[in-house]
Amino acid sequence: MSSTTTPNTTGARRPSPLLRPDFVRLWCATTASGMATWAMPFILGLAVLHGSLSAVGLGLVLATRTAGFLVAVPLGGLLADRHSRRAVVLWSGLAAAVATPVLAAGLGTSTTLMAVAATVVGVGQGACRPAFQALTAEIVAVEDRQQANAALTFSVRVVTLLAPGLTALAATVTGPSVLLLVTAGLWLAAALLPRGTNTVPGAPRERAPFHVEFVEGLIEARRHPWFLSGLAALTTVIALGYSATNVLLPLASRDHYGTEAVLAGALTAYTAGALVGAVLVSRWKPRAQGWWALFGLGLYALAPLSLAFPVGAVVVFAAYSVVGLGVELFNVPWFTAAQREVAPDKLARVSSLDFLFAYGFAPVGLALIAPAAQAFGAEAVLLGCAALCVVVPALAALAPGARDFRTRHGRG
């Protein structure tokens, strides 16, 4: 993604963090977990086409996985600040790896068994997210974290670009059960590959009850006004903008253009734009980086705007590519700033709040967009979501420290 060396404080050149074995192992682990996370709904969709799972069963299994994820995210943050981050990644990955074959065994036999197994998979998925975030800060030097985070998000975009075709190709020679077992292997790799210290973050101390330590994480988050305002903006964009485009893009593709090709083209353009954004931000560190990040987040408004009116398909593709680029302009500085500014022994808990709010409200938005479109019209809903995608990040830019995502009085 960039040059293979980076300067140190003495002016000498040292190997890029992308070439360090401990980071390469972490990168491979996060890529494996991302691929397994993405693949499960797609494979279960293939199971519906094969007749081994009903549409109702698919909804139930995916809902229980989401529930497990949302429960485990804050718990994973607590555990990753109580124990070594490496251990949390290990056990969460193993839980998902063990539950996935049970999920495969339930195909065509027991939807209940599948729902229980999917819950455990969701727990593993949710618990590892804040631990991975904290583990990155643990093994990568401060000056290299933006490049490292860009590499991590780049791999996620490559997965979403290539995995659908590869999975569909594999489905021509094998069945959903075997594909699910492949994802179990991916979870096993995610569990076993990372390396890190086995020490507990922070100074040794007597541990408080879980609810007290969770409140400590909330207090730490409140010490960073830019984080709270940025999280509000991110939650709004995902819950409204992202949900609106996911629900209404297929309808616009059918009603405005009469073909599903616009749906596929828009999603591909989004991923391509995100890949370009990840490469760009791996090195680009402008002044007022926080404002640039929030500007990139606000660019999501272009997606619902492009769907509100019957513009040409090329306009939709262009809008989605710019949106993808803008999302990465936000994501990488956002993760890097949290790793830099948040107290190290509370980083996993604060990161868990990020994932909990950003992804926890998405199902609410998905559930409300369709009824709102029926009541007020798709055009009005898309325009309203576009306006909020601009206004809320703009308001977030007014928070103290938002200019460069820095807390003015240090960590205390």
pLDDT at 214: 77
Burial class of residue 79 in the structure, from the number of CB atoms within 10 Å of its CB (0-12 exposed, 13-18 middle, 19+ buried): buried
CB–CB of 53/44 below 8 Å? Answer: yes
Q: Is 403 helix (H, G, I), strand (E, B) or coil?
A: coil
What pTM, to 2 d.p., does this model score? 0.84
CATH domain 14-143+163-201 topology:
Growth Hormone; Chain: A; (1.20.1250)
Distance CA 16, CA 30 (A): 19
pLDDT at 10: 45
Q: In this structure, what token pair is assigned to residue 25?
A: 């192992």
Q: Is 175 helix (H, G, I), strand (E, B) or coil?
A: coil
Cα separations in angstroms, 100 against 95, 198, 274, 324, 358: 9, 27, 30, 31, 25
pLDDT at 202: 56
The DSSP bridge partners found for residue 235 are: none
Cβ neighbours, 10 Å, residue 360: 18
CB–CB of 362/243 below 8 Å? Answer: yes
CATH domain 217-396 topology:
Growth Hormone; Chain: A; (1.20.1250)
Distance CA 95, CA 100 (A): 9
- Under-70 pLDDT residues of the chain: 1-17, 196-211, 259-260, 409-412
Q: Is 14 helix (H, G, I), strand (E, B) or coil?
A: strand
Tens digit of each residue's pLDDT (9 = 90 or more) over 68-106: 999 999 999 999 888 888 999 999 999 999 999 999 999
Q: Is 123 helix (H, G, I), strand (E, B) or coil?
A: helix
Q: Kindly list the domain boundaries of the chain, sorted by start residue.
A: 14-143+163-201, 217-396
Q: Is 286 helix (H, G, I), strand (E, B) or coil?
A: coil
pLDDT at 225: 93
Task: Enumerate residues 6+ apart whose C-beta is below 8 A from 351.
Answer: 77, 129, 130, 133, 134, 338, 342
pLDDT at 311: 82
Phi first, then psi: what are they for 284, rounded to 5°? -75, 120
Fold matches, 14-143+163-201 and 217-396: yes
